[in-house]
Chains A and B, each alone.
Chain A
Amino acid sequence: MIMDREPLVRFEHLTRRFGELAAVSDVSLDIRAGEVLALLGENGAGKSTLMKLLYGIHPPSAGRILLDGRESPIRGPADAMRNGIGMVFQHFSLLPALSVRDNLLAAWPATPAYIGRRSKRAARVLDRLSVIAPDIDPERRVDTLSVGEQQLVELCKVVNLEARVVILDEPTSVLTPAEAQRLYDFVLRLAAEGRAVVLITHKLADVEACADRIAVMRGGMLVADFAKGERTTAETVALMMGRPAATAEPAPDRFAGRPARLVLREITASAAGHVLKGISLEIAGGEVLGIAGVAGNGQTLLAEVVAGVEAPSGGDVLLDGESIARRGDEPHATPIGYIPEQPRDNAVVETMDLSANLRLRALAAGEADGAYDVAALIRRFNIAPSEPTRRAGTLSGGNLQKLVAARELGVPRPAVLACYPTMGLDLGAVGTVYEAMFAQAAAGAAVLWISEDLDDLLARAHRIAVMRGGAIVALVENDGTLTRDRLGAFMTGAPAEAAA
C-alpha cells in the first residue's frame, strides 16, 4: 500500500568521494511519505554521509537526487529547511548560551516579531516540546541540559519546521530507555501524520521499535532494502556487519579483598545548574563500578570533578591515597584514563591529526610519547579512516569515540573513568571498547563506568551505584539477582517497597 506511492525523495546511483575514499558508492534508494525508514549500518558505513547529500551539506560526486520527481534544488541546510527537509545531527546545532525557548524560536519560521513571555503566539513554539519532553524547562540555558535532553530539543526544532522529511542521526544513542520510548512513539506519530522519517542507526532495538522498512549499508554501499519482517534479526546483523555478531564480553573476575584505589570522599560541587550532594564511593583495584541514572542527575559533573575538570566545593578525590581533585583555577592533567561525554567537544582537538590526538596526553604530561604506538592503536580500535595524518575533525562521531577510547584505554592506567564509552558505536566497536576497559580492570585499575544502558551494566559491572538528584541513592552488589526493574525504581525514586 505504502509502496505504491510516489516517493518524496529518490536517490539515483549516488556516489560521494572524499579524496580516495568513496563514502557513498552507487546508492539508489526511495524515501516515501508516511513511512519510517531505518538506515542501518556500522560506523563509517556511509549512512550519515548519504543523508548529508540530501541535506545539501555535501554535493554528490555522481548520480542525482530527485525531490517530488524533480531534480533537487537543495544547495545547503537553509535550502533543505525551505524544502521541508529537517535533520537532527549527532553533533547538534543548538546554541549552548541561549535558552531552550530562544533556540526553538530562532529556527521557527512562524516566530512573531514580539517574543516576550506574554506573547501567546510565541508560546506556541513550545507545543511540540511539551509533548516530547514535558520535563524540560524552556527557560533553561541549553548548556545546562544533558545530551539526551538536548537531542529532544533539537528534534523538536526540526519538527517545528513542519518538515516533510525528518532525518534522525543515531537519535537513541544518547537517550535513556524511557526517553527512547517517548522518541519511538513520537516517530510513529510523525509517520502517521504523513511525514517521511529516516532513522540512521546501528541499533536493532530502534529498528524493532518503529521501522517500516530497513535499508542496510556497508562500506558505502546499499546492501539490502526490505520491509520489516522479511528477514530475521540474525540475517539483518549479518548483512550489516558482513560477519556473524560477536558475543558480549564479560567483565573480569573480581578479586575480593583488594584495597580501594580510587576514593571519592564526600564530594560536593555545583556548576551549570547541577549539584553534587556529598558523594562517597570506594573502588578497589580490579573492580568495575557502574553508575546508573537518568542523564542530568549530576553524572557529568561527578565525572568532571573526578577527572579534575571542575573543582569540588567540598570533599576530595583520592587515587592510591593522593588527592587528584582540582584546586584553584586551572584544570590539571589527570592520571586516570578519562573518556568524557561528547568526545568531539571535550576530548579531541579537531584541527589536529589522529596521530597528534592519540599522543595528546604525552604532550600534556611532557613525557616521551613512546607509550602510544599510533598505528597499533588505530588498528586495535579499528578507527576509520585510518591514516594517522588525517585531521580528527573529519572523522564520524563513532570513530572519534573510538579514537578517545584508544588514547585513554590503550595504555596502562591506574584508574579509568568512562562516561557512556560506547555511545554511538557499532556492535564490533562496543566489544573492543569493553574489552579494553575490562583489560584495565584485570590489570589492577579501578574502573568507574557511567552508563545509561542498564542491560550492559547488569551484564558487566561488579557493583552498581544509582545516581539521582546529585546523590547516590543506592549502591548494590551485582550478584545476579539484581534486575532492570529494581534499578529503574531506584532511578526514578519509586517507593522503597517497589524497589525491594
Chain B
Amino acid sequence: METDLWILLAGWLVATLRSATPLLFVTLGETLTQRTGVINLGVEGEMLAGACFGFAVAVTTGSPWLGLAAGALAGGTLSLLHAGLVLGARANQIGSGIAVWMIALGTTSYVGRGFVGQKVTPLPQLVGPGAGDGLLGVLFRQLTAPAPLAFLAVVLAAWWLANTRAGLAWRVAGESARVAAENGLRPTWIRLQAIVLGGLLSGLGGAVLSVDYTQTWAQEITKGRGLIAVGLVIVARWRPILVLPVCLMFGLAEVAVLRVQAAGVEASSYLIATAPYAAVLIVLVVGHRSARRSRTMPADLRSIFS
C-alpha cells in the first residue's frame, strides 16, 4: 500500500522533472542573457535548432551524449546571428529575435524531414535496478542525467551571478551599459558572452527535449516553449534561483494536463492544453502585483523599447 503511494508520487515527480528539464535550461539561459540587458526572442529558434541537430547527430552517431553536445552547439551558433545583428548592426532586439526564430523554423523543418519517425538510443538511467524501492530509488531509476544537471546549472548560475566579480560585471552591464563602460568594463563583450551562453543552454534544452524527453523529432517540436521561457524569466523576476520553482510549476501543470487527458475527461484537448499557460499567466499577475514595488527588471532592458 505504502509502496504504491511512493510509486504514484514518484511517477508524478519524475514526469514533472522530465517535462521541466528542457525548459529549465532555456529559461536559465534567457535569464542570464536578459540580466546583461539583452532580450533574445530567438531562443525559440535556438531551442528548435538544438532539438533538430541534436536529434540528427544522436541518430547518425548512435550516441545521445554527442546529440546533446551538438544541440548545444547548434543553439550557440544560431545565437551568434542574434548577437551580430543586435550588438554589431545595432538592430532592434525584438525584430532580430523573431528573425532568428523564423530562420530556425524554416531550416529545421527542411533538415528534419529525413528524421521524422527515426529512433534514438536513450540516455541511461541514473542508477541501476538495485537501488531499492524507496522514493529516491524509484525516482533515480527513472531519471536521466539532464534533470540533475539542470538543477546544478541553476544553482551554479545563481551563485556565480551573486558572488563573483564576473557575475557582478554582468549585472552592472544589465543595469547600465554606460556605467559599466565608465567603470572600465566592456558591456558589448559581456553581452556577446551572455547571448552565446543563452544560445548554448537553449540548444541544450532543445536537444534534451528531442533526444531525452520525447525521443522523437517532429516539425516545430518546441511548440512555443522558447517563448514561454521568455515569459517565465519575468515570472522568476530575473532571478536564476527562482527559475527552478517557476519551471517546475509549468512542468507540473503540463503533466497534470497529460494525466487529465489520459483519464478520459470530456473536454477539448486543445482547451485542456492551454492550462499550463493559464497557470503561468495567473502567477505572472499575482507575482507582478506583489512585486510592484521591488523593481527587479534590469534597467537597461527598458532601453530596448525606446
- Report chain B residues within 8 Å CB of A115: 163-165, 168
Of B169, B180, B184, the residue contacting A82 (CB under 8 A) is B184
Contact B168–A102 (Cβ < 8 Å)? yes
Cα(A106)–Cα(B169), bound, Å: 7
Of A78, A112, A143, the residue contacting B165 (CB under 8 A) is A112
Contact B299–A97 (Cβ < 8 Å)? yes
B84-95: CB near A (< 8 Å → 1, else 0) gives 000000000000
Binds A, one of B25-33, B119-127, B170-178: B170-178
Assuming the A-B contacts A98-B172, A105-B168, are A93 and B184 also in contact, with contact meaning beta carbons closer than 8 angstroms in the complex? no
Contact A113–B182 (Cβ < 8 Å)? no
B223 at the binding interface (Cβ < 8 Å) = no
Cα(A105)–Cα(B181), bound, Å: 15
Contact A113–B175 (Cβ < 8 Å)? no
- Report chain A residues within 8 Å CB of B293: 271-272
Contact B299–A106 (Cβ < 8 Å)? no
Cα(A77)–Cα(B185), bound, Å: 12
A95 at the binding interface (Cβ < 8 Å) = yes
Cα(A98)–Cα(B180), bound, Å: 13
Cα(A81)–Cα(B178), bound, Å: 15
- How many residue pairs link A and B with beta carbons under 8 A? The number is 60
Contact A93–B179 (Cβ < 8 Å)? yes
Contact B165–A95 (Cβ < 8 Å)? no
Contact B163–A78 (Cβ < 8 Å)? no
Of A107, A114, A271, A272, the residue contacting B183 (CB under 8 A) is A107
- Report chain A residues within 8 Å CB of B178: 93
What total of chain A residues lie within 8 Å of the partner, measured CB to CB? Answer: 23
- Report chain B residues within 8 Å CB of A82: 184
Contact B184–A78 (Cβ < 8 Å)? yes
A93-120: CB near B (< 8 Å → 1, else 0) gives 1011110001001110101111110000
- Report chain B residues within 8 Å CB of A143: 295
A residues 412-431 in Cβ contact with B at 8 Å: none
A residues 32-81 in Cβ contact with B at 8 Å: 77-78, 81
**What is the size category of the interface that chain B forms with chain A?**
20 to 34
Assuming the A-B contacts A78-B184, A81-B184, A116-B163, are A95 and B179 also in contact, with contact meaning beta carbons closer than 8 angstroms in the complex? yes
Central interface residue in A114, A115, A143, A271, by most chain B CB within 10 Å: A115
B residues 92-146 in Cβ contact with A at 8 Å: none
B214 at the binding interface (Cβ < 8 Å) = no
Assuming the A-B contacts A114-B163, A115-B168, are A96 and B179 also in contact, with contact meaning beta carbons closer than 8 angstroms in the complex? no
Cα(A470)–Cα(B294), bound, Å: 20
- Report chain A residues within 8 Å CB of B162: 116
Cα(A307)–Cα(B132), bound, Å: 66
Central interface residue in A93, A95, A102, A115, by most chain B CB within 10 Å: A95
Smallest CB–CB gap between A301 and chain B, Å? 11
- Report chain B residues within 8 Å CB of A106: 168-169, 172, 179-180, 183, 185
Contact B182–A98 (Cβ < 8 Å)? no
Cα(A95)–Cα(B295), bound, Å: 12
Contact A93–B182 (Cβ < 8 Å)? yes
Of B165, B176, B298, B299, the residue contacting A105 (CB under 8 A) is B165
Of B163, B164, B172, B181, the residue contacting A95 (CB under 8 A) is B172
- Report chain A residues within 8 Å CB of B298: 97
- Report chain B residues within 8 Å CB of A77: 181-182
Cα(A143)–Cα(B293), bound, Å: 11
Cα(A102)–Cα(B181), bound, Å: 16
Cα(A97)–Cα(B237), bound, Å: 13
B285 at the binding interface (Cβ < 8 Å) = no
A2-28: CB near B (< 8 Å → 1, else 0) gives 000000000000000000000000000
Smallest CB–CB gap between B293 and chain A, Å? 6
Central interface residue in A102, A106, A109, A272, by most chain B CB within 10 Å: A106
- Report chain A residues within 8 Å CB of B182: 77-78, 81, 93
Contact A95–B299 (Cβ < 8 Å)? yes
- Report chain A residues within 8 Å CB of B299: 95-97
- Report chain B residues within 8 Å CB of A114: 163-165
Assuming the A-B contacts A114-B164, A115-B165, are A98 and B171 also in contact, with contact meaning beta carbons closer than 8 angstroms in the complex? yes
Smallest CB–CB gap between B46 and chain A, Å? 28
Smallest CB–CB gap between B152 and chain A, Å? 18
Closest residue on chain A to residue B184 by CB atoms: A78
B166 at the binding interface (Cβ < 8 Å) = yes
- Report chain B residues within 8 Å CB of A116: 162-163
B179-220: CB near A (< 8 Å → 1, else 0) gives 111111100000000000000000000000000000000000
Closest residue on chain A to residue B296 by CB atoms: A97
Cα(A355)–Cα(B295), bound, Å: 32
Assuming the A-B contacts A95-B175, A97-B299, A98-B175, are A113 and B181 also in contact, with contact meaning beta carbons closer than 8 angstroms in the complex? no
Contact A113–B165 (Cβ < 8 Å)? yes
Closest residue on chain B to residue A141 by CB atoms: B294
- Report chain B residues within 8 Å CB of A111: 165, 168
Contact A113–B166 (Cβ < 8 Å)? yes
Cα(A111)–Cα(B168), bound, Å: 10
Closest residue on chain A to residue B166 by CB atoms: A113
- Report chain A residues within 8 Å CB of B165: 105, 111-115
Cα(A97)–Cα(B296), bound, Å: 7
Smallest CB–CB gap between A444 and chain B, Å? 36
- Report chain A residues within 8 Å CB of B295: 97, 143
Smallest CB–CB gap between A143 and chain B, Å? 8
Smallest CB–CB gap between B281 and chain A, Å? 18
Contact A78–B181 (Cβ < 8 Å)? yes
Assuming the A-B contacts A102-B171, A106-B169, A106-B172, are A113 and B164 also in contact, with contact meaning beta carbons closer than 8 angstroms in the complex? yes
Closest residue on chain A to residue B182 by CB atoms: A77
B residues 269-301 in Cβ contact with A at 8 Å: 293, 295-296, 298-299
- Report chain A residues within 8 Å CB of B175: 95-98
Contacts A98-B171, A102-B172, A113-B166 aside, 17 further interface pairs with beta carbons under 8 A come to A78-B181, A81-B183, A81-B184, A97-B299, A98-B172, A98-B175, A102-B171, A105-B168, A106-B168, A106-B180, A106-B183, A106-B185, A114-B163, A115-B163, A115-B165, A116-B162, A116-B163
| Chain B residues within CB distance 8 Å of chain A | 162-166, 168-169, 171-172, 175-176, 178-185, 293, 295-296, 298-299
A-B contact pairs, 19 of them (CB 8 A): A77-B181, A78-B182, A78-B183, A78-B184, A81-B184, A93-B178, A96-B175, A97-B175, A97-B299, A98-B172, A102-B171, A102-B172, A106-B180, A106-B183, A111-B165, A112-B165, A113-B166, A115-B168, A271-B293
Can you list the 9 inter-chain pairs with the closest CB atoms, starting with the nearest?
A: A116-B163, A95-B175, A77-B182, A106-B172, A107-B183, A78-B184, A111-B165, A113-B165, A93-B179
